[in-house]
Amino acid sequence: MRDLLDSMDAWRRDGRRIALARVVEVAGSGPRDPGAAMAVNDLGEVIGSVSGGCVEGAVVEAAQEVIENGTRGLRSFGYSDSDAFAVGLTCGGTIGIYLEPLDEATYDELADEIRAVRPAALATVVGGVGLGRSVVVCPNRAVRGSLGNPDLDRVVTRDALGELASASTRIRRYGSCGEGLREDVAVFIESFAPPPRMVIFGAIDFTAALVKVAKLLGYRVTVCDARSVFATAARFPLADEVIVDWPHRLLESIGTTLTSRDAICVLTHDLKFDVPAIVAALGTEAGYIGAMGSRRTHRERIEHLREAGVGDAGLARLHSPIGLALGGRTPEETAVAVCAEIIATRNGLSDVRPLSATEGPIHPPRT
């Protein structure tokens, strides 16, 4: 829903009535993950997507019904359903889409947090008692809204903070008073964590290409290089920030804020920059740490890292030479290879092969 905010604001200024559709559950193979959203106004205009094209037409029709009669509820599309098959959901899975009129008060509360780049979770009752009630949950701030029962509010707030910490979005089920092992109430908890960070060390041509691809994937990108003549905003206009400093000193100041969602890419391939940067990077919780260089550079780098006290566990975290072996040579091809490895690492894949050479589900199992 993050990408729909500006368009929905424009619709509201024009007095348009709006219905919101969100993917809340996926079983088997599905084209979009929970949290994918589409908004439809009373003129039939559409923004966003819930299925990559498979069921968009049917969802638009359902959304227009919501605008007309004000109803809300969960609707499923599955491969075995004749109406779903007719609109093209042939991937073999089932998706649950929750449709509702736009709740402007809740929307405003959530939009303020998203625009301020503060972590927030939206918990909405999508099934059972209190259908449509929602709360906005933020760390260290009062909960806004209620699901209709204080005990349910307390338990859902606790769980929403847990989901937000891992940037997870999913349905959780409870008793009407928040009891576990019950399914009286289905609550969709949608996390709006700040964008993951990518910190790139080295102001080189490969960096400019990597910034472009990383921004496409939704990263907040920092470029850092100790050489002021190269580390300029003019050379990296798409970067969120360009910092002139030694890499290890930057990590000393921001390292504690990095999480498993974040990536550090060392592109300097110069030992006087690389080794201190990698040692500092290994002291963070970053989920991906990669270093560019030839195999000879890699071997020399490993020797110096061991001399600096890095053990086997630390070296096992380092992706070097950086990127998947896609055969690319240009900066742009290299950037794609690096980001492909980051995606594979995030999904726990160590043996990446073409889909045509694999069997089973295309998408990794959701946890």
- What pLDDT shows up at residue 276? 95
* 36, 77, 192, 363 from 26: Cα distances, Å: 11, 10, 19, 11
Domain presence at residue 77 = yes
Domain presence at residue 130 = yes
Domain presence at residue 43 = yes
Among candidate residues 162, 192, 222, the one where a domain is terminated? 192
Domain presence at residue 286 = yes
Q: For position 264, which CATH number holds?
A: 3.40.50.720
State both tokens at 267. 């592109």
Measured distance CA(28)–CA(26) in Å, rounded: 7
Among candidate residues 122, 157, 192, the one where a domain is terminated? 192
Burial code (b: 16+ CB inside 10 Å, e: under 16) for 332-352 equals bebbbbbbbbbebbeeeeeee
Domain presence at residue 365 = no
Pairing of strands 263-266, 197-201: parallel
Measured distance CA(264)–CA(284) in Å, rounded: 10
Q: Based on the domain organization, do 127 and 237 belong to the same domain? A: no
Q: Based on the domain organization, do 150 and 227 belong to the same domain? A: no
State both tokens at 353. 């092969």
Q: Give the type of residue at 1.
A: M
Gyration radius (Cα) of the chain, Å? 23
Q: Based on the domain organization, do 255 and 305 belong to the same domain? A: yes
Domain count along the chain: 3
Q: Based on the domain organization, do 95 and 27 belong to the same domain? A: yes
Q: Based on the domain organization, do 45 and 159 belong to the same domain? A: no
Q: Based on the domain organization, do 227 and 332 belong to the same domain? A: yes
Phi-psi region of 238 (alpha: psi -120 to 50; beta: other; left: phi over 0): alpha
Domain presence at residue 92 = yes
Q: Based on the domain organization, do 234 and 246 belong to the same domain? A: yes
Classify residue 181 by its DSSP letter. Answer: S
Among candidate residues 72, 101, 130, the one where a domain is terminated? 101
Q: At which residue do the structure tokens 């604001």 appear? A: 9
Q: Based on the domain organization, do 34 and 89 belong to the same domain? A: yes
Q: Based on the domain organization, do 88 and 112 belong to the same domain? A: no
Q: Based on the domain organization, do 61 and 137 belong to the same domain? A: no
* pLDDT, tens digit only, all 367 positions of the chain: 889 999 999 999 999 999 999 999 988 766 788 999 999 999 999 999 998 766 888 899 999 999 999 999 999 876 544 554 444 455 567 889 999 999 999 999 999 999 998 999 999 999 999 999 999 999 999 999 999 999 999 999 999 999 998 899 999 999 999 999 999 999 999 999 999 999 999 999 999 999 999 999 999 999 999 999 999 999 999 999 999 999 999 999 999 999 999 999 999 988 888 999 999 999 999 999 999 999 999 999 999 999 999 999 999 999 999 999 999 889 999 999 999 999 999 989 888 888 788 777 766 555 5
Q: Based on the domain organization, do 280 and 341 belong to the same domain? A: yes
Measured distance CA(361)–CA(76) in Å, rounded: 20
Q: Based on the domain organization, do 177 and 216 belong to the same domain? A: no
Domain presence at residue 172 = yes
Classify residue 246 by its DSSP letter. Answer: -
Measured distance CA(298)–CA(321) in Å, rounded: 6
> Nearest Cα to 336, choosing from 348, 347, 322, 346?
322
Q: Which domain holds residue 132?
A: 104-192
- What pLDDT shows up at residue 88? 47
Domain presence at residue 355 = no
Please, what sign has the CA dihedral across residues 191, 193, 195, 198? Answer: negative
